[in-house]
Structure 1
Amino acid sequence: MAELTVAELTVHELTVHELTMPGAPATATASWADLSYSPVTATSAPNFATALIPGYRLSERRELIGHGSARWEWACREVLSWGIKRRAGFVVQSAAVAAEVRVGDTVCLVLGTAPFRVREFVRVVYLVNEPTRRGFAYGTLLGHPLRGEDCFLVDRMPDGTVWLTVRSFSRPSTPLWMVLTPLLRLAQAIAVRRYFAALSARMS
């Protein structure tokens, strides 16, 4: 993996370190004072699938989800409006969720029902807005069961096929969650399957 660069910045009178991957998307400009992990934007690395991030478990899955302009436009819209999360069973809570994902948006993703409800606090760290690729990534905040980053990318290929890529790197955030690692990994696997099922399903 490429060597990290470190820049120092001040947020709310607190000096923090902002760790980024060289060549990270230019839109990765959010306040990262509360992010619980590093390196921020690592999911944007071209060689992510073969990268090494000490202490973290990496995952990348890419699948065909359809064909044609309609599927491309619909999939992009679902990803960039949190629809991919809602269709996977999450409730997206925020004081002000915009119609489209923005860098710096902070949300709480809620999964399950009481008493088995899990809240995941995350912040959008970068967007991808290219002619044939769109998507975004969010990073975990303090209070999330995991530390790490998730990325969702929709690609349109020259032959008209549309593909979804889901990337993540993570580790349990506390000793308690570490004990529950098998359950966390199972929940992650189920969520990823739901993402692909949601975006390959009938458009609505």
Structure 2
Amino acid sequence: MRRSNFEDQPVDYAAVGATQAADLMQYPPQGFVPAEDSIRLGSGRERYEAAVATLLSWGAQRDAGIDVSEIRPGSGNEYTGIQFDDEGNAVAPNRRHSEQRFAPDGTPFLDAGTTAKLRGRVGRYNLESKIRVVYLVENQNSMSFAFGTVSNARMSGEESFTVEVREDDSVWFTVRSFMRPVGAKYRAFPVLGSARRRAIATAYLRALSPTWASPNA
């Protein structure tokens, strides 16, 4: 009997990388519900770099109460998703190759192609999902990555996590997603899926904020 290795499995939705689209909130992939939440983390390069290190070492998930296990790195030379210009037009696919990097505590940074299992409880919602990092984009003043679901009994889709330094030196963290219900309960009652998504996104925002404030504050 061959043991299944989900590292080799594709994500379970078609619109890979669409969390980067400028018009995601207006024109999400068909059948999916988009969402976006942001919070100010502070200001300055030091705050930005600390937030990037936390995100790339699964800190937002773990500090939100979600266990990250069965982590398998990508090859380091993988497709990292489609990028979009300011008008929302797709540009050339991005590929990157880099040596393995680590957080100050020695935790390996994630990269495109990394797979993992998420399991935990956020408020009243259980979370258990196999995921794959579908892109990682780093620029001078921003870092963004997204993972998509490989196998999820409740919801299917993609979530992205972006930290940026804006022109006024403020540092912002944004969580974007597009999701569709998979489980029977969430298909029957879409409002439950929206509430679950909101609770998890809020937990991510709170985990990264040095002094918790309400989303979009």
User: 2:204 matched to which residue of 1?
Assistant: 195
Change (3 A) 1:167 1:32: farther
| 1:119 equivalent in alignment to 2:128 | yes
What CA distance in whole angstroms lies between the structure 1 residues aligned with 2:116 and 2:153? 11
User: 1:41 matched to which residue of 2?
Assistant: 17
User: 2:170 matched to which residue of 1?
Assistant: 161
Q: So what's the TM-score if we normalise by structure 1?
A: 0.75
User: 2:76 matched to which residue of 1?
Assistant: none
Structure 1 residue runs without a partner (length 5+): 1-30
What CA distance in whole angstroms lies between the structure 1 residues aligned with 2:207 and 2:141? 20
Please tell me the residue identity of whatever aligns with 2:59: G
Deviation at 1:176, TM superposition (A): 4.7
User: 2:65 matched to which residue of 1?
Assistant: 89
The list of structure 1 runs, each at least 4 consecutive aligned residues, that deviate by more than 6 angstroms after superposition, is: none
What CA distance in whole angstroms lies between the structure 1 residues aligned with 2:158 and 2:126? 21
Q: Which protein, 1 or 2, shows the higher relative CO under an 8 Å CA cutoff with sep ≥ 6?
A: 2
Deviation at 1:34, TM superposition (A): 2.6
Structure 2 residue runs without a partner (length 5+): 1-6, 74-106, 212-217
| 1:62 equivalent in alignment to 2:38 | yes
Deviation at 1:102, TM superposition (A): 1.1
Which of 161, 167, 170 is the equivalent residue of 1:152?
A: 161
Per-residue CA deviations over 1:49-91 (Å, capped at 9, x if unaligned) read: 3223221100012221111122101111111111011111110
Native 8 Å contact 1:84 1:195 kept in 2: yes
Q: Considering only aligned residues, what root-mean-square deviation do their CA atoms show, in Å?
A: 2.2
What CA distance in whole angstroms lies between the structure 2 residues aligned with 1:110 and 1:92? 7
What CA distance in whole angstroms lies between the structure 2 residues aligned with 1:85 and 1:40? 21
> Secondary structure at the residue paired with 1:185?
helix
What CA distance in whole angstroms lies between the structure 2 residues aligned with 1:58 and 1:152? 14
What CA distance in whole angstroms lies between the structure 1 residues aligned with 2:157 and 2:129? 12
Q: So what's the TM-score if we normalise by structure 2?
A: 0.71
| 1:142 equivalent in alignment to 2:118 | no
> Secondary structure at the residue paired with 1:48?
coil
What CA distance in whole angstroms lies between the structure 1 residues aligned with 2:161 and 2:36? 10
What CA distance in whole angstroms lies between the structure 1 residues aligned with 2:185 and 2:10? 21
Aligned residues: 170
- Once the two structures are superposed, the pairs formed by residues 73-112 of structure 1 within 5 Å of their partners are 73-96=49-72, 99-112=108-121
Q: % of aligned pairs identical?
A: 31
